[in-house]
């Protein structure tokens, strides 16, 4: 049962040292009760209090780590129904189903290795292969060996044969594969193995009641890292299950349903474009691992982008650090351009400057993560402010001219900037970043 802020406060050291990032223990306790902070941030909680608090402060949906290294996924750990209430923390994993009798396994592994997209300074990529045993244990084992040898994907091992699962899982235990799946029939056997091996375990039932009965049985055995498959293979039913599970865990505080899910759009349709649309439904609501029939650039890339958007904090825009960025090795005669610190603005502008091959100093002014027009309208990219920043950022020591290019959308700040920067020539650049290369090539101070 959740503790109140005051109950939590009684268990804290009450020294108000501030090391947790909040000024007082009381404020930290209130944040903890509201699920806004983590107990681990306080280094001084006694072991006894930690034990009591860990249970009370654990997120209502358990976060389950699957895989190792760069492709580890950790679905779950969410605390709100809707992203605008706070944020979603742990991006869903994007997976591809492969079987030993499939002819394009090599191509799928090659696609997996190739699919790495850099976007706003982050690397986007799918994470997982779900390897399904189709009855030939040796072929299943060989396929798992091949994937482990040829790529760094996380793995879900899928087999109806518990002995086969155990044998293959033992071989690759260090990669922390997900075992799929415990059912009513094999829960004792597979649950005991998952407990002994410490591997995460997926469970499959026919409906949510069945899921609850299974999770209660497995948690009763001591298992904690569970992943739920409700068994639905039709979009509407799977979508309803997904929402019902999230609501049960967060609103009704039903611990038995507080686990991430695995969903199979690949088994809901034969049409890969429809499959991608279904997958996008579960990226938004609330798939933990989303399994596709194949890695295709035209479906995986949009899903990765959607995932990036869904799993960024809506209250904290992605920002670039304020400062001077050197693009294409600029020198004293190179142009100077200034823009805002919204990540997307920075990466688009920097990309165009780089593509122009014109050595350029790019100045990034803190605008609280707003894009040019929004920042200007909100007074976060005002002429006197930008002028002051240019004076203080140190660019004057690096150049032998006094010209600065401002974004075309912020043309209105040029007068104020010139007042703040006497002797400077404030040049109005293009409105669209796409026109920057030509502008820079024609530029003169």
Binding residue (CB under 6 A) for ligand SF4 from 19, 40, 145, 216: 19
Binding residue (CB under 6 A) for ligand SF4 from 13, 69, 121, 135: 13
Nearest to 94 by CA among 62, 63, 120, 116: 116
Q: Contact 275/302 with Cβ under 8 angstroms?
A: no
Report the C-alpha gap between 336 and 333 in whole angstroms: 9
CB-nearer residue toward ligand SF4: 16 or 161: 16
DSSP 404: E
Helix residue spans in 119-207 (DSSP H): 137-150, 162-171, 187-197
Nearest to 228 by CA among 268, 255, 198, 258: 258
Least distance in angstroms from the C-beta of 36 to ligand SF4: 13
Instruction: Examine residue 289 and tell whether it contacts ligand SF4 (CB under 6 A).
Output: no
CB-nearer residue toward ligand SF4: 43 or 379: 43
CB-nearer residue toward ligand SF4: 54 or 377: 54
Least distance in angstroms from the C-beta of 10 to ligand SF4: 12
Report the C-alpha gap between 6 and 11 in whole angstroms: 9
Two tokens at 350?
């920097």
Instruction: Examine residue 25 and tell whether it contacts ligand SF4 (CB under 6 A).
Output: yes
Least distance in angstroms from the C-beta of 90 to ligand SF4: 25
Least distance in angstroms from the C-beta of 7 to ligand SF4: 14
Write b or e for each residue in 344-382: b if 16 or more Cβ atoms lie within 10 A of its Cβ, otherwise e.
ebbbbbbebbeebebbbbbbbbbbebbbbebbbeeebbb
CB-nearer residue toward ligand SF4: 44 or 82: 44
Give the footprint of ligand SF4 on residues 31-50 (CB under 6 A).
42, 44
DSSP 286: T
Q: Which of these segments, 11-19, 58-66, 165-173, 294-302, binds ligand SF4 (CB under 6 A)?
A: 11-19
Residue that has been written with the tokens 């200034």 in this structure: 338
Least distance in angstroms from the C-beta of 12 to ligand SF4: 5
Write b or e for each residue in 118-152: b if 16 or more Cβ atoms lie within 10 A of its Cβ, otherwise e.
eebeeebbbbbbbbbbeeebeebbebbebbbeebb
3-state secondary structure of 201: strand
Binding residue (CB under 6 A) for ligand SF4 from 15, 46, 207, 252: 15
Q: Which residues are 426's β-sheet partners?
A: 404
Q: Which of these segments, 7-15, 204-212, 342-350, 369-377, binds ligand SF4 (CB under 6 A)?
A: 7-15
CB-nearer residue toward ligand SF4: 41 or 294: 41
CB-nearer residue toward ligand SF4: 17 or 273: 17
Least distance in angstroms from the C-beta of 3 to ligand SF4: 14
Instruction: Examine residue 17 and tell whether it contacts ligand SF4 (CB under 6 A).
Output: yes
Least distance in angstroms from the C-beta of 29 to ligand SF4: 7
Nearest to 219 by CA among 247, 259, 176, 250: 259
Binding residue (CB under 6 A) for ligand SF4 from 4, 18, 206, 435: 18
Binding residue (CB under 6 A) for ligand SF4 from 16, 186, 254, 281: 16
The helices-and-strands tally (H runs, E runs) of the chain is: 16, 15
Give the footprint of ligand SF4 on residues 317-336 (CB under 6 A).
none
Contacts of residue 84, Cβ cutoff 8 Å, sequence gap at least 6? 314
Least distance in angstroms from the C-beta of 54 to ligand SF4: 15
Residues that bind ligand SF4 (CB under 6 A): 12-13, 15-20, 25, 28, 42, 44
């Amino acid at each position: 049962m959740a503790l109140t802020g005051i109950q939590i406060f009684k268990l804290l050291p009450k020294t108000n040292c501030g090391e947790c990032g909040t000024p007082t223990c009381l404020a930290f306790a209130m944040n903890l009760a509201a699920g806004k902070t983590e107990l681990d941030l306080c280094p001084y909680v006694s072991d006894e209090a930690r034990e009591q608090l860990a249970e009370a402060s654990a997120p209502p949906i358990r976060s389950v780590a699957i895989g190792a290294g760069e492709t580890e996924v950790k679905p779950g750990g969410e605390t709100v129904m809707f992203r605008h209430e706070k944020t979603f923390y742990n991006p869903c994993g994007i997976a591809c189903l492969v079987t030993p009798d499939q002819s394009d396994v090599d191509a799928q592994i090659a696609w997996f290795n190739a699919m790495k997209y850099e976007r706003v300074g982050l690397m986007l990529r799918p994470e997982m292969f779900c390897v399904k045993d189709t009855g030939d244990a040796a072929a299943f084992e060989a396929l798992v060996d091949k994937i482990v040898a040829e790529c760094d994907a996380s793995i879900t091992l899928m087999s109806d044969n518990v002995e086969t699962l155990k044998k293959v899982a033992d071989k690759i235990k260090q990669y922390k594969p997900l075992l799929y799946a415990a059912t009513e029939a094999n829960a004792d056997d597979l649950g005991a193995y998952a407990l002994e091996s410490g591997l995460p375990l997926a469970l499959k039932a026919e409906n949510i009641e069945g899921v609850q009965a299974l999770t209660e049985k497995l948690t009763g055995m001591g298992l904690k890292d569970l992943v739920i498959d409700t068994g639905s293979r039709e979009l509407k039913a799977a979508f309803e299950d997904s929402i019902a599970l999230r609501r049960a865990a967060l609103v009704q505080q039903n611990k038995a349903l507080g686990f991430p899910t695995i969903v199979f759009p690949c088994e809901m349709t034969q049409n890969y474009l429809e499959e991608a649309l279904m997958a996008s439904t579960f990226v938004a609501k609330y798939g933990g691992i989303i399994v596709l029939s194949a890695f295709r650039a035209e479906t995986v890339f949009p899903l990765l982008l959607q995932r990036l958007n869904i799993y960024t904090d809506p209250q904290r825009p992605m920002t670039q650090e304020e400062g001077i960025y050197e693009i294409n090795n600029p020198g004293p005669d190179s142009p100077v351009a200034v823009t805002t610190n919204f990540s997307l603005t920075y990466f688009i502008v920097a990309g165009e400057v780089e593509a122009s091959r014109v050595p350029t100093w790019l100045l990034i002014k803190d605008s609280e993560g707003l894009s040019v027009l929004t920042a200007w309208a909100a007074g976060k990219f005002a002429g006197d402010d930008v002028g002051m920043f240019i004076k203080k950022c140190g660019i004057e020591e690096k150049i032998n001219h006094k010209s600065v290019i401002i974004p075309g959308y912020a043309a209105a700040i040029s007068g104020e900037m010139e007042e703040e920067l006497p002797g400077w020539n404030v040049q109005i650049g293009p409105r669209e970043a796409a026109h920057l290369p030509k502008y820079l090539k024609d530029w003169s101070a």
